[in-house]
Amino acid sequence: MNETCRARLRTLLESGGAFPVETSRICVQGPDTIRYLNGQLTMDVRRLPAGQARSALLLTAKGRLCAPLWIWKDADVLILEVGESLLQETLDRLEKYLVADDVTLSVLPDNPRRFHIFGGGPFPENSLRIPRLQVEGVDADHVPEGLLLATPDELEFLHIVRGIPRWGHELDAHTLPQEACLETQSVDFNKGCYVGQEVVSRLQSVGRVNRRLFAFVGQLAQEPAGRLSLELPDQPGKPVGTLTSRCEDLELAQTRALGYLNREFETFHSFAAVDASGNALGKFDKHSILT
C-alpha cells in the first residue's frame, strides 16, 4: 500500500494531476468596478491579464487578513473567488466600503463541478489559467482521460510541500501578509492606495514582523492530535513557534510541516516538537523560508 501511495504522490509532484474546486465566487460589475476594487485589494486590478487569475488579499484597516482570494476578468465583469467559509465575511467587508460607488456585488450560483488541472499540459482550450498550487494550472469542467485525481490527503500533502498557507491552518483574521510570506505573490507595492496599505507598506520598508512562516522536516515518535509547539532542545518549557500543518512524506520517511517561528529564533535550525501537555514528541529541522 505504501508503495502505491508513494507512486501516486510522485506522479502528482512530477507530472501533475487534478482535484475538484469547492469555492464561492462573487461577481463584481458596474462603471466604478475597477476603481472600487483597486481601493480594496492588494493587487492592481487594472493590470489583470486576459484569461488568467491573480492572487490578492482583502485586508482590514490594520493590515490583517479578511480573506485571501483569486480575481480574474470574465467579459465585462470581475470575479472574486474565496473559500466557502469566508463568503459572507468577504461580502460584509466589501459592502462596508461600498458607499457612493456604482458597483454591484452578486454571489454566483453553483455551476457544474469544476476541476483544477495542474502540472504538465496540454490543458483544455479556453480554460482559466490559475496557479493554485504555485505551478502552471487551469480550471476546467472536466478532467482529461488518464490524469490522476488527487485525494483530499494528497492535496493537503501538495499544499504543505509547496509551502502554500491555508485559511484555518496558517492563515486567520490575525495574520499579517508578511508573516505568511504572502507579499511575494499577492501584494503589488507599486499600486495606489487600498485599505490596509499603510501597515503593509510600513512592514515592507522596516522588514520586521514578530513571526514568520517556515517549512520544516522532522520525525515524530507518535501522531498527536492538534497543533504542536516548537521549543529549543536545550530550553524546554519555552515555546518559540508553532507547527500549523503536517503530513507524512513517504519518499523521505519523515514528516513535512509548515509553522511559525518567533522572529528572534529564525537563525536556529533544530527544534523539539511538544504537545499541549508538554511532552516532547520529536525533532524538526527548519527546511526553508517560504518565498
Q: Is the dihedral of CA 222, 225, 1, 148 positive or negative?
A: negative
Q: Are 264 and 134 in the same domain?
A: no
209 domain-assigned: yes
Tell me how many domains the chain contains.
2
Q: Are 197 and 266 in the same domain?
A: yes
Q: Are 183 and 76 in the same domain?
A: no
**pLDDT beyond 60 at 109:** yes
b/e map of 229-246 (b: 16 or more CB within 10 Å)? Answer: bbbeeeeeeeebbbbbbb
120 pLDDT tier (thresholds 50, 70, 90): confident
Query: Which DSSP letter does residue 122 get?
Result: P
Chain position carrying cell 518567533: 262
Q: Are 241 and 102 in the same domain?
A: no
Q: Are 20 and 109 in the same domain?
A: yes
Q: Is the dihedral of CA 183, 187, 188, 191 positive or negative?
A: negative
Q: Are 52 and 104 in the same domain?
A: yes
Distance CA 5, CA 251 (A): 10
161 domain-assigned: no
Contact criterion met (CB below 8 Å) for 133 and 111: no
81 pLDDT tier (thresholds 50, 70, 90): very high
Domain boundary among 112, 134, 149: 149
Q: Are 264 and 132 in the same domain?
A: no
**Stated pTM of the model:** 0.92
ω into 49 cis (within 30 of 0): no
Mean pLDDT for 211-226 is 87
Domain boundary among 149, 167, 200: 149
Domain that holds residue 212: 177-289
289 pLDDT tier (thresholds 50, 70, 90): low
Distance CA 51, CA 127 (A): 8
Mean pLDDT for 35-43 is 97
20 domain-assigned: yes
**pLDDT beyond 80 at 121:** no
Residue 290 CA: distances (Å) to CA of 32, 41, 185, 230, 283: 36, 22, 11, 18, 20
Mean pLDDT for 279-286 is 92
Q: Are 278 and 193 in the same domain?
A: yes
Q: Are 136 and 187 in the same domain?
A: no
291 pLDDT tier (thresholds 50, 70, 90): very low
Q: Are 193 and 241 in the same domain?
A: yes
63 domain-assigned: yes
279 pLDDT tier (thresholds 50, 70, 90): confident
pLDDT score, position 222: 75
Q: Write the CATH number for 183.
A: 2.40.30.160
